Amino acid sequence: MLNRRLARVRAMQQLYALKIAKGANFLLAQDLISDAFAPDLNSMEKQDRTKLAGKAKLAQSLFEDEVKKKDSHPDEVYPPEVRTAVAKAREYYRLKNKKDYEYHSIQTLLDAERTYDIYLYLLNLLVLLQAKSDSVLAKNRALLAIKNTKDLEFLSLKRSVNFDQDPTLINKLYNEAIKNNAHVKEYVEKVNKTLEDDLAIVKYLIKNVLLKHEVSVEFFEKLHLFWSEDKEILRTMLFHSFANFVEDEVVVIEKLDDQWEDTKDFLRTLFKETAVKDEELLEHILPHLKNWDLERIIGTDLILLKMAVAELTTFPSIPVKVTINEIIEIAKNYSSEKSKVFINGLLDSICKDLQQKGLIKKTGRGMIDNR
């Protein structure tokens, strides 16, 4: 269930974080220029503060023009110390951006796999709640099926999933959310419970206790940066594990298999293509903005547009319609109320332009519903 939609969301989140990092790096580079022209308090010579401030302002202006790709009047001659300060700021900015790109490129994959780890945490939490000596859920067959699944123990050990960081969690959650819970009491008092009954109470616990109770929420928010955003994905993953329980009393633990390897390659490539080709992608978007001021466009909207162009022109097996629909769906959940309409209109126009230029080339499945 770690699918391409989750991959797109993680790419967007880390691309946004990279954008913020670049902004911070720009300010640090500007500070570096300021420091280069700061008065030398240890010098015996009189410091011309006005002149130094002027050179700092000039160097900062030149550096900003470079970053924003503006014409910096190349025919003009600037003082050597100004050129040196700009060169040092440029190199500092480049190295900081390179380091941040490498970090966020790795973090994109780690964040996606972290969702899987949380899925394992939640399954283990169900087992531990069932295993309590006084647990009213001790004989629940759905929970026993999880407990008897060897895959869960193996995968949890492999990915270091445990509750060592908060050994009191189980008792606290059981006492506050389950022990006197009306739904649980109703289940316990029921005679001749069916497999459907066992599964129903487990689904109730997943939806209303594990994913909603403040004790559980507090724990997982500390554990996972995107907990609140991933709850629906996690609910789906957990429910999917019990999909065949009523028929065969078996719980299937999802694995990071070959399908995830394909999704991971997609995520890695999408992040790289969007980050590295940032300016090139923007050139495909700018002609379609018309009266829109680039500075006023919401950061996530612009990132999603760049991601869409990157995906449309990089992945021949993904249909155009799928890319557009997925980007719009993400915009609905992660951007402003008007973003859906704004992005939909722009992508329609951008897509036609890219097709006319022969930049969208689809093969196989990618030709399905191709515009």
User: How far apart, in whole angstroms, are the C-alpha atoms of residue 130 and residue 253?
Assistant: 18
Residue 179 DSSP symbol: T
**Cβ contacts of 52 within 8 Å, gap of 6 or more:** 37, 38, 39
DSSP string over 19-54: HHHHHHHHHHHHHHHHHHTS--TT-SSPP-HHHHHH
> Is 277-367 in CATH node 1.10.940.10?
yes
Given this model, what pLDDT does residue 41 score? 65
Residue 286 DSSP symbol: G
pLDDT in tens, 177-231: 998 999 999 999 999 999 999 999 999 999 999 999 999 999 999 999 999 999 9
**pLDDT over 60 at 171, yes or no:** yes
Query: pTM here?
Result: 0.88
Query: Domain ranges in the chain?
Result: 4-106, 115-248, 277-367
Give me the amino acid identity at 175.
N
pLDDT in tens, 300-339: 999 999 999 999 999 999 999 999 999 999 999 888 888 8
Given this model, what pLDDT does residue 290 score? 79
| pLDDT tier at 370, thresholds 50, 70, 90 | low
Percent of the chain surpassing pLDDT 70: 95
C-beta separation of 323 from 273 below 8 A = no
**Cβ contacts of 109 within 8 Å, gap of 6 or more:** 10, 264, 267, 268
Percent of the chain surpassing pLDDT 90: 76
Given this model, what pLDDT does residue 73 score? 60
| pLDDT tier at 75, thresholds 50, 70, 90 | low
Whole-angstrom CA distances from 164 to 109, 121, 170, 219, 351 are 25, 12, 11, 12, 51
| pLDDT tier at 39, thresholds 50, 70, 90 | confident
How far from the centroid of its chain's Cα atoms is residue 208's Cα? 25
Residues belonging to the chain: 371
**pLDDT over 70 at 64, yes or no:** yes
Q: How many H helices and E strands in the chain? A: 16, 0
Locate 187 and state its tokens: 């289940």
The pLDDT mean for the chain works out to: 91
